[in-house]
Amino acid sequence: MLAGKRVLVGIGGGVAAYKVCEVISTLAKAGVEVRAILTDSAQRFVTPLTVTTLSRHPAYTDESFWAAAHDRPLHIQLGEWADVFLIAPLTANTLSKLALGLADNLLTNTVLASTCPILVAPAMNTAMWQQQTVRQRWQALKDLERFHAIGPEEGLLACDTVGTGRMAEPEDIVPYLSSLLHSKGTRDLTGKRLLISSGGTREYLDPVRFVGNPATGKMGLALATAAWHRGATVQLVQASSLLEVPSGSTIAVTHVVSAAQMQDALVPAFPQADWTIMAAAVADVKPQQYATTKLPKHELPAALPLASVPDIVQALGQLKQPHQRLVGFAAQTGDIAPPAFEKLKRKGLDAIVANPIDVADSGFGGDRNQAIFIDAQGHQTPIPHCTKLEMAHRILDLIAKLT
């Protein structure tokens, strides 16, 4: 999703500028072409040499802007070059300029000379962030179609204040840039309500032992994140996962443990969902008996009597209305398509994502995956080996095409 793409980074004058260095480094290592603009005040926090070294390209400053050595005006060249534009940290000063369409330096002139999506990551003291004039400018900027916002977050600030004003973390900024590169900034899922399950359910024998699986929830979280980036209203039902949604996101999260708890969370929410994606690995069975205290080793049964658990996907398939889309997942070994398609038919799904768990660097726990997307007519669309965020976007694209 990132290799060969062109990302322009505008660095503002704030202490959080050091975080942008990690963003630039991560992008460059992923094969992204990175160009960076530093405002005059940004150079008081990070040097052009640092940014040049990390981006593998000379950094631009206002001194570059006023130089006469360019074939065409520099801000025009950079504005036309970029696939996506990141401005971080977005200071109160630059925020106001962008909201009003002002341009008095290389960064703000390049914004006006560009047409690509722009991701802004504000950072400032809490009192500054809460000023009425700042809030008005922030709302005005977010109302502009080109601008996408991440953060600010709440926490300990450099001034020792605890409050809202921290810049979003690099691990949240880079995925958002990836999503913008895929969607080209369109919010094509605006107005859609998505219900997504993730993680692996656990069925406990006693307080410390359970029947479960290796699912971590990475695929479901990637789907929720991608959908949020594209404008959807997202509810995530997350089972036994330590993963957190991106800070500042509007993703609503319900934490569950067992299949019964997951069913209790999904069934009431299902009627309001336009698309439901069942990415969770739900247990098929549970111990018949549950001990409220830890069983001594010598009391563990030699054979574990099992009972069935609710078939959540099938139950939702019976409730599905014509306007709704219900998509399942099938983690398989061997020839993955036939059993996945049989599951689709048996459970009344609109589509199913079959992914191999016996292939290296795919399936449970990893950051990458591969799959076959199968619709109700049996049409198969391979999704090649890629990051789970990229797979999430491809799945959303394919669901949008279902008739």
For 96-139, how does the pLDDT look when each residue is reduced to its tens digit (9 = 90+)?
A: 999 999 999 999 999 999 999 999 999 999 999 999 999 999 99
Cβ neighbors of 391 (< 8 A, separation 6 or more) are: 219, 222, 369, 370, 371, 383
The answer on pLDDT for 2 being more than 90 is no
Q: Rounded to whole angstroms, how far apart are CA atoms 268 and 324?
A: 15
Tell me what pLDDT residue 220 has: 97
Q: Which of 21, 116, 159, 386 is labelled catalytic?
A: 159
Tell me what pLDDT residue 200 has: 95
**Same domain flag for 199 and 330:** yes
| Confidence class for position 68, pLDDT limits 50, 70, 90 | low
Tell me what pLDDT residue 209 has: 95
**Same domain flag for 106 and 197:** no
Tell me what pLDDT residue 345 has: 96
Residue at a domain's end among 126, 152, 183: 183
**Same domain flag for 263 and 390:** yes
Q: Are 92 and 61 in contact (CB under 8 A)?
A: no
Exposure of 301 in the CB half-sphere (CA atoms within 13 A) = 12
Cβ neighbors of 55 (< 8 A, separation 6 or more) are: 9, 24, 28, 34, 35, 36
Domain total in the chain: 2
Active site residue 159: yes
| Confidence class for position 69, pLDDT limits 50, 70, 90 | low
Number of Cβ within 10 Å of residue 194's Cβ equals 25
Q: Rounded to whole angstroms, how far apart are CA atoms 284 and 372?
A: 23
**Same domain flag for 215 and 242:** yes
The answer on pLDDT for 346 being more than 70 is yes
Mean pLDDT of 6-27: 97
Residue at a domain's end among 157, 183, 209: 183
Residue 57 domain-assigned (yes or no): yes
Mean pLDDT of 184-189: 96
Q: Rounded to whole angstroms, how far apart are CA atoms 140 and 156?
A: 27
The answer on pLDDT for 196 being more than 80 is yes
Q: Rounded to whole angstroms, how far apart are CA atoms 56 and 61?
A: 16
Q: Rounded to whole angstroms, how far apart are CA atoms 215 and 301?
A: 26
CATH code (residue 290)? 3.40.50.10300
**Same domain flag for 71 and 160:** yes
Q: What distance lies between CA 49 and its chain's CA centroid? A: 31
CATH code (residue 145)? 3.40.50.1950
**Same domain flag for 19 and 135:** yes
Containing structural domain, residue 37:
6-183
Using DSSP's 3-state secondary structure scheme, residue 277 falls into strand
**Which runs of consecutive H residues, i.e. helices, occur in 67-195?**
74-81, 92-100, 106-112, 126-129, 132-142, 170-183
Q: For 69-83, 254-268, 316-330, which range has the lowest pLDDT when averaged over its residues?
A: 69-83
**Same domain flag for 358 and 260:** yes
| Confidence class for position 70, pLDDT limits 50, 70, 90 | low
pLDDT in tens, 204-260: 999 999 999 999 999 999 999 999 999 999 999 999 888 999 988 999 999 999 999
Please indicate whether residue 50 or residue 403 has the higher confidence score (pLDDT). Answer: 50
**Same domain flag for 154 and 214:** no
Residue 277 domain-assigned (yes or no): yes
Q: Rounded to whole angstroms, how far apart are CA atoms 148 and 33?
A: 21
Tell me the pTM: 0.93
Tell me what pLDDT residue 363 has: 81
Q: Rounded to whole angstroms, how far apart are CA atoms 32 and 393?
A: 19
**Same domain flag for 176 and 278:** no
Q: Are 384 and 362 in contact (CB under 8 A)?
A: no
**Same domain flag for 166 and 290:** no
Residue 188 domain-assigned (yes or no): no
Q: Rounded to whole angstroms, how far apart are CA atoms 248 and 86?
A: 17
Please, is 193 exposed, middle or buried when counting C-beta atoms within 10 Å of its C-beta (0-12, 13-18, 19+)?
middle
Question: In the numeric block, which tokens belong to residue 78?
Answer: 């950079």
Three-state SS for 319-339 is: HCCCCCEEEEEEEECCCCHHH
**Same domain flag for 48 and 160:** yes
Average pLDDT, the chain: 95
Residue 119: beta bridge partners?
86, 148
Using DSSP's 3-state secondary structure scheme, residue 203 falls into strand
Question: In the numeric block, which tokens belong to residue 177?
Answer: 């840039």
Mean pLDDT of 171-193: 96
**Same domain flag for 203 and 62:** no
- Letter string b/e over residues 79-109, b meaning 16 or more CB atoms within 10 A of that residue's CB: beebbbbbbbbbbbebbbbbbeeebebbbbb
Mean pLDDT of 77-96: 97
